[in-house]
Amino acid sequence: MDTTGTITSFSSAPMTRFSIGGDSYGVQDASTSYSLTNPDPQTLRFEVKQGDYAWYDSSSVDRSEVSGVNNIPGGTPIALNYQFMVEANGANGSFTNTADGWFIVGQMHNDDWSSGVGTSPPFAIQLVGNHLQIVARYVQPGQDPSNGAGNVQMLTLWTDPNPIQTGVYNNIQIQADVSNTGGGYLKVSINGTQVVNYSGPLGYGQATNWEYGIYRSSAPETVAVDYRNMTLLTGAAATSTQPTTPTQPTTPTTPTTPNVAPTVTQASASPGTGTEHVGDVVTLTLTLSETVTVTGTPTLSLNDGASATYVGGSGTNTLTFQTKVASTDTNTSALAITGVNLANGASIKDSGGLAANLSGAVKTFSGLQISNTPIMPTQPTTPTTPTTPTTPSTPTVTTPVLSVADSSLWVAGRGGHVDLGTTLSTTDPNDKISLNIKGLPKYETITTGDGTTFRGGDITLSSAQVASGLTLTSYYRGNAHPVATLTLTASATDPVTGAVTSATPQTITVTDPRPSATSGSTANQGHGLHHHLGSGSSTLAATVPQTTSLANYDTAKGSHASHSFALLNQYLAGGSGRVDGGQIAAAISNGTAWMQNSFLTKPHH
């Protein structure tokens, strides 16, 4: 029973012991020069940096503590008094704490040897950010107190609304009876003001021991705390001890029913068994004791070296996380959640703003294996290759068909035009077909049926534009006799694979004849007739002479008009110079059939 708080036989080496007021305490630290010091006979100073942990810890925690050697049986009254101070570690004398799991600065530790399982402290004083907080835990008699069992009830009994002051000692007075079978209670006063007055189940039905110091989830900042004048009374001596100042605040600060922080009641995985390979997705679900609000993006640490990222559930009591198996993951025979990470300001809180106790999320899923190798294709039990291929490996594209009505065209300059006479077709309605035309001279254009005009030596037209009709127009104004060769290539593109195939290119020769001595309009018309009626070897010359009677005058009149243009075309094509164009026109206008026929049968070469 410690009544003086005087420190004797001090040692800072791990697994050694020293005394506080006659009570023996064991050292649990990282064995550095700063982990645990004894500035004076009444004071202990604890300091941790990231990576400082005891011999039995993992690297995910930082610890520098001393633990009471003698356990206090359950149902025993306890009176604990000490002064506590945090040292500044931030700018302008402030205190910084970014530990996202827990930061305990005094705990009543359970006798885990008797429980047979690791547990969280039945009650503790801790820091949430830079605010002091007091929490308590219990299970019903006979229940498993391990965090993974989901039986632990956690009570957040008080959170200081004001940030803790650095460099200032706080008077801590604790009265407790750790019992979950009746008679349990916890009363805490800070600086003379009672902040906790709880009566109800406390602990796990086992003995306990008090621990001073720092125990936190690993964080980057260095922290140091000091304790002095530490006394601990038990039994009747504890019940007779009264605080030196009133413990009741001027207004009640504790509700009749404590605001209990949400806890994880179940952790599950989908799929729950089997082997997951690279690329497979595993969904992990945490069920909590009440509705919570999630901010930021919490993650779950996994034993395969990966993490599961929060995907949804805020506003409910079920939070969902997912992880995708990668080749960098570690093979494991049983996937496990090893912790919850609340980085970059992430939080999981209830409607009252209390942070959830996430210790229950830690769980191993027996039978759910992780393999970092891709799944191999299933081999067929019978041959799957037919004797002859039945399906091409990739979709095919069909060669389109390009039809050219006339591969040799004549067109007059100065605005003359002629139909290109091209069509496109395909037997595959899914293919996208087009026509490419190369070699169009500067003085010629191609116009589609919708009035769109194209120029240039390399143009591409859609099947719809070709189908609308293509007209070639010549604007040649010189005195030469230019000949242009147009190269036409039809192509088809498969819309799925992008594969392209082209038909054999075809050519069209376009000749702009030398301008005649007649007017531009007459030459243009004459040449148009020549194009439609044929070349110099016109069949008109072999036409049997016809006689037109008076009875057939109307019919003959139209026939004479047609013959007039044919004769003019013959004349222009022959270019003999022995017949006057005016005489031909006059003869035709007189309707003398023998004269027409005689001219048509007369050689012009």
pTM above 0.85, yes or no: no
Residue 104 pLDDT > 70: yes
**Contact between residue 70 and residue 24 where contact means Cβ atoms under 8 Å apart:** yes
Residue 478: predicted pLDDT: 84
Find the range with the poorest average confidence among 33-47, 283-297, 349-363.
Answer: 349-363
Of the chain, the percentage scoring pLDDT greater than 90 comes to 63
Residue 342's pLDDT band, with cuts at 50, 70 and 90, is very high
Residue 78 pLDDT > 60: yes
**Contact between residue 421 and residue 406 where contact means Cβ atoms under 8 Å apart:** yes
How many other CB atoms are found less than 10 A from the CB of residue 168? 11
Residue 244: predicted pLDDT: 45
SS (H, E, C) 235-301: CHHHHHCCCCCCCCCCCCCCCCCCCCCCEEEEEEEECCCEEECCCCEEEEEEEECCCCEEECCCEEE
Find the range with the poorest average confidence among 2-16, 28-42, 242-256, 376-390.
Answer: 242-256
Q: Are strands 363-370 and 332-341 parallel, antiparallel or unpaired?
A: antiparallel
Comparing 551 with 435, the larger pLDDT belongs to 435
Averaged pLDDT for residues 334-347 = 94
Of the chain, the percentage scoring pLDDT greater than 70 comes to 78
| The amino acid at 235 | G
Averaged pLDDT for residues 359-372 = 93
**Which among 233, 218, 229 is positioned nearest to 172, based on CA atoms?**
229
Residue 383: predicted pLDDT: 63
Residue 438: predicted pLDDT: 95
**Which among 120, 119, 123 is positioned nearest to 108, based on CA atoms?**
123
Cα 381 from Cα 157, distance rounded (Å):
65
| The amino acid at 380 | P
Find the range with the poorest average confidence among 18-27, 339-348, 491-500, 572-581.
Answer: 572-581
| The amino acid at 519 | S
Q: Is 190 in a helix, a strand, or coil? A: strand
Residue 246: predicted pLDDT: 42
528-585: pLDDT as tens digits: 333 333 333 333 333 344 443 433 434 444 444 444 554 555 555 444 444 444 444 4
**Which among 194, 192, 199, 186 is positioned nearest to 253, based on CA atoms?**
194
244-283: pLDDT as tens digits: 444 444 454 444 445 578 899 999 999 999 999 999 999 9
**Contact between residue 166 and residue 93 where contact means Cβ atoms under 8 Å apart:** yes
Cα 321 from Cα 300, distance rounded (Å):
8
Cα 433 from Cα 462, distance rounded (Å):
7
Would you put residue 120 in left (φ > 0), alpha (ψ -120 to 50) or beta?
A: beta
Averaged pLDDT for residues 122-146 = 95
**Contact between residue 230 and residue 60 where contact means Cβ atoms under 8 Å apart:** no
**Contact between residue 26 and residue 17 where contact means Cβ atoms under 8 Å apart:** yes
Residue 39 pLDDT > 60: yes
Would you put residue 75 in left (φ > 0), alpha (ψ -120 to 50) or beta?
A: left
Torsion angle (degrees, nearest 10) of CA 83, 88, 92, 94: -70
Identify the helix (H) or strand (E) that includes residue 374: none
* CA 431 to chain centroid: 34
